[in-house]
Structure 1
Amino acid sequence: MRRADGERDGRFISTREHRRFVEFAEAVRKHRYIGLCYGPAGVGKTLSARRYTRWHIAEERIVGWGPEVKVSEAQVGAAVSRTRSVLYTPIVSGPVGELRRELPRLMERVEWAIQRHLTPLGDTVYISSRWRSRYVELVIIDEAERLSNNALEWVRDLFDRNGIGLILIGMPGIEKRLSRYPQLYSRVGFAHHYRPLGPEELAFVLTRRWRELGLDLDDADFTDAQAVAAIVRITGGNFRLVQRLFVQIERVLKINGLTSITDEVVEAARSTLVIGAT
C-alpha cells in the first residue's frame, strides 16, 4: 500500500500550496470539469491528493477490502462522504484493461461506503457495466503520465458518461502532452501549478520540525541561521526532501548525543541521502 511522505510518521502540515490544491479540487468537483495539476517531484502533489480524498484513512479498506483491515466501515464512510472523491494511481505501463477494471472497482466501493454512511439500512448499490455514479463526484488520477493514449481516451469517456469531475496529476509537461488530444484538452477547465515551499512557508515548516525535536528555532541565533541556510540550499523548498532530511537530522542528533542543529549536522544528514547536486 502506497504511503506518501509525511504519512509514515503521522505528521502533516497544511501549507499554502495544499490549501490552493483543496480550492482547485473543490472547483473541479463543483463544476465537473477536467483539471490538471502539475509540479516537480516531491513538492507535495500526492500528499495533498491523499489528504483531500481522505485516502490516508480510506485506502486500507477501499483497496484492501478484507477482514484484516483495521479501519472500520463507519470511519471510511464518514471520511469519503466529505469529499465524495476517489484517488487512483495507475501501474507503470499497465494495459488499459487494468484501468477499466480497477478504477470502476474503487468507485464502486466508495459509492457503497458513502451509501452505508448516509443510509445504513438502505439497499446496496448495484453497479453495472453501464453504471453512472450516484455519490462519487470527483476522480483524481495520480502519476497520470503513466496513462497510454488508449487509457486517456477511456478516461475521457468515463468523464463524459458519468458527469463527474476529473483531476490528472503529473510532472511539468503533462499539460503539453494532453494538448495534443483536442477532445480531452477541450474539457480542461482548471489548471494548478503545484510549487515548492516559499521562504515564509519553509521557515514555518522548519520551526515545526525544530519543535518536534524538542528544540527552539531562534532567528537571532547565528548557529540556527546557518543551519536554516544549509537546509534551504539543499532542499530548495522541496517538501519531500525536507521530510527526508529531518529524518536523518534526528538520527545524527541521537547518535552523537547533540542538542542543537548546526550546519555540520545538516551536512552530515545530507551525506546519507541521494538528492543530487546542490
Structure 2
Amino acid sequence: MSERFIVTKEHRRFTEFADSVRRGHTIGLCFGAAGVGKTVSARRYAHWDKAHDLLADWGPRSEDDVKVYAALAKSRTVLYTPGVLTTPRLLRDDLNLAISRTNICIQEHVEAAAVSRRTKNYIQLIIVDESERLSPTALELLRDRYDRDNIAVILIGMPGLEKQFSHYPQFYSRVGFAHHYRALGNDELLFVLQRHWRALGKTLDPDDFTDAQAIAAIARVTRGNFRLLERLFPQIERVLKINELQTITNDVVEAAQSTLVIGVT
C-alpha cells in the first residue's frame, strides 16, 4: 500500500489536523464518507503499515526492525480499530498492549545506548478508526486516559460523528478540532488519474476527446471517491487485456464498472 500511496490535498490537510491535535494535547474528530481515504491517511500518519505486523506478531527482533522503530519514534502515534463487539474492557486491554509495545519500539530507537530498561511513555496521540462502534463507557474510558496520561486522541468515523458525540458533554467539551475529510476535487482527480494512466504505461491528455470522455465517465462513477478509484482501475486493466485494447475509453470504463458492485451514497 505504501508504495502506491498518493499524497493528495486531503491527506495533507489530515496531516496538519493530526499534528495540531497532537501538539495541542486535545481531542479531534475526523469525519467523511466511506472510501474517501480517512483510514489510509491515518495509517500513513501513524506508519502503521510498517509497524502493524511487528506489533501484532510480537517475537524475536531482526535488523530490519530498526526502520520500524524510527518510524514509530517519528509519529509517536498508536492506531486502533475496535471490532464490532469490542467491549470497554477489551478496548482498554488492546490499547494498553499496543501502547506498551509501541513504547518499547520507540525506546529502542531513542535510547539505543541507554543502560536503563525502564520503559517510558513516548506516545503522544491515539487514533481510533471506526469510532462509531464505541459505546458510551468506551468513550468515558478514552476520556479518562486523555485526562490522566495527557495523550491526544483522534476519533475517525462517518459524517454525523460530531453530532453523535455531542450527546456526551464530558467528552465533547474536550474536543479541540474537527476535520471534514472530503472526496477528491476535479483537479486532484485528474492528478490521480494521470498516475493510474502512467501505471498502465499510457499518457493521459485531458484535451484529447477520448481521454476527456473517459475522465468524465470515471468522475461520474466514483464522484472522487478514492476507494472506488482503487477498485475500478484493476477492472479497467482487466478489460483492456481481455479485449486487447490500447486506449481507455468511455466504453472501457463502463465495462469495468459493470463488473463491480459500485456506487456512492
Q: Which residue of 2 aligns with 1:223?
A: 210
- Alignment gaps of 5+ in structure 2: none
Instruction: Please state if 1:51 is matched with 2:44.
Output: yes
How far residue 253 of structure 1 moved from its aligned partner, in angstroms, is 1.0
Q: Which residue of 1 aligns with 2:91?
A: 99
Instruction: Please state if 1:38 is matched with 2:31.
Output: yes
Instruction: Please state if 1:120 is matched with 2:81.
Output: no
More moved, 112-121 vs 189-198: 112-121
Which consecutive aligned stretches of 4+ in structure 1 deviate over 2 angstroms post-superposition? 69-73, 121-126
The equivalences for 1:74-223 within 5 A come to: 74-122=66-114, 123-126=116-119, 134-223=121-210
How far residue 96 of structure 1 moved from its aligned partner, in angstroms, is 1.1
Deviations 1:55-110 (A, max 9, x none): 0111110122234x888320111011111001000011211111011011101111
Q: TM-score, normalised by structure 1?
A: 0.91
RMSD: 1.6
> Is the contact between residue 76 and residue 125 of structure 2 (CA under 8 Å) also seen in structure 1?
yes
Q: Which residue of 1 aligns with 2:221?
A: 234
> Is the contact between residue 57 and residue 71 of structure 1 (CA under 8 Å) also seen in structure 2?
no
1:274/1:125 CA distance change after superposition, 3 Å: farther
Q: How many residues align?
A: 264
CA distance in 2, matches of 1:261, 1:167: 40
Deviations 1:10-67 (A, max 9, x none): 3010000000000000000001000000000000000000000000111110122234
CA distance in 2, matches of 1:277, 1:76: 36
Percent identity for Structure 1 against Structure 2: 57
CA distance in 2, matches of 1:253, 1:125: 58
Q: Which residue of 2 aligns with 1:62?
A: 55
Q: TM-score, normalised by structure 2?
A: 0.96
1:36/1:71 CA distance change after superposition, 3 Å: farther
Deviations 1:139-184 (A, max 9, x none): 0000000111111110111111110110000001111111011110
